[in-house]
Amino acid sequence: MLKCQKCGKTYEKFRMLCECGGLLDVLVGFRESFESLLNEKYLDVRRYLNFLPINENFLPKLILPITPTVEKEIENVKVLFKLEYLMPSGSFKDRGSYVTIAKLKEEGIKEISLDSSGNAAISFALFGKAEGIKVHVFIPERTSEGKKRVLKLLGAEVHEIKGLRMDVHWKAREFKGAFYISHWYNPYFLEGTKIAAYEIFEQVGEVDYVLVPTGSGTLFLGLYKGFKELNNFGKVKMPKLIAVQAEGYESLCKRSKRKSKLAEGIAIPEPPRKEQMLKALKETKGFCISVGDREIDKAISDLISMGFLVEPTSAVVFAAFKKLLERDEFEKDSKVLLPLTGSSLKVI
């Protein structure tokens, strides 16, 4: 069931926003124990099906793996890299697409539209191709040829729009005949991304800090939700959530004058779920930190030398980690989780 954050109205059917314009959240409550809900016969996303609001008769054909968590000791801190870029379409977005696609199948929706030129579009296009769901992707005309080529290869109908990012957004929303599915609003997307927290708990137990690249907040709020549910099961304390943003696009901390050119995946100055993110930061005693292109550049090469081939947006968490290490933010032996969200090999 979906519930409006503003007026409290509830909905059974899939929709993006409430009639009043308010954002929707998925309501899930668990009466059983964590162990009895875990589907131990699987070692992939199906292990966590009972924690997801989806019907087993409508599961997507694409099965998501459990991504590895690699531990490295850096200056007395246990750094846990969660390799989200090893998902089928090369980013963590596949988790959100998985749950969304299951809901679309349940409702018999065969045609969708979204505005994104990056990871979300590539992820939905890949799932759409496997399911026979037509995916209309609205992108700015200046989007790189590489990305356009990948989207076309995956069978997406690419609509190139002249103008600003918001013009692209409205064109996708107004497009007739397709169900609009932006991950900025989509409540089911967060249900998918929360599963990373379940995996982390099973792989390494409790963690003390989580650094997340944060633009629209789809991973940030998903991880918050996942850890919150685990906390309700009595499994973990809440980790401190640290939202990592890019210079010039800060929405949760003071906006810098200089603008990052590298972190395109989180270049979202006014995310619709901003208030929800501020609440999560406050509740977990976390904070927001921003990084610039020079720091991101250095972090990319550090990550590559550790064997992690990630895109610039993903590298922001390592740049922020190093900044916080210098500030002595982390206690000795604390566990710091850094999700590495997107592959650099995707656009070739």
Question: Interface residues with Zn ion (CB under 5 A)?
Answer: 4, 6-7, 9, 18, 20, 22
Ramachandran angles phi, psi of 21, nearest 5°: 95, -5
- Which residues are within 8 A (CB) of 273 and not within 5 positions of it... i.e. 6 or more apart? 23, 184, 216, 217, 221
Tell the smallest beta-carbon distance from residue 194 to Zn ion (Å): 23
Nearer to Zn ion, 138 or 188 (CB): 188
Nearer to Zn ion, 188 or 321 (CB): 188
Match 């700015």 to its residue by tokens.
140
Tell the smallest beta-carbon distance from residue 24 to Zn ion (Å): 8
C-alpha closest to that of 94 among 249, 197, 218: 218
Nearer to Zn ion, 7 or 253 (CB): 7
Nearer to Zn ion, 6 or 282 (CB): 6
Alpha-carbon distances of 74 from 80, 108, 197, 244, 310, rounded to whole Å = 10, 49, 22, 19, 19
- Provide the Cα torsion 342, 110, 17, 1; round to 10°: -90
Tell the smallest beta-carbon distance from residue 11 to Zn ion (Å): 9
CB atoms within 10 A of CB 158: 18
Nearer to Zn ion, 185 or 233 (CB): 185
Nearer to Zn ion, 4 or 62 (CB): 4
Tell the smallest beta-carbon distance from residue 6 to Zn ion (Å): 5
Alpha-carbon distances of 17 from 106, 109, 128, 187, rounded to whole Å = 19, 17, 22, 9
Sign of CA dihedral 166, 167, 173, 178: negative
Whole-number Å distance between alpha carbons of 70 and 130: 30
Tell the smallest beta-carbon distance from residue 2 to Zn ion (Å): 10
Tell the smallest beta-carbon distance from residue 10 to Zn ion (Å): 10
Nearer to Zn ion, 7 or 153 (CB): 7
Nearer to Zn ion, 9 or 149 (CB): 9
Nearer to Zn ion, 34 or 188 (CB): 188
Tell the smallest beta-carbon distance from residue 3 to Zn ion (Å): 9
Tell the smallest beta-carbon distance from residue 19 to Zn ion (Å): 6
Tell the smallest beta-carbon distance from residue 27 to Zn ion (Å): 14
C-alpha closest to that of 101 among 66, 65, 54, 31: 54
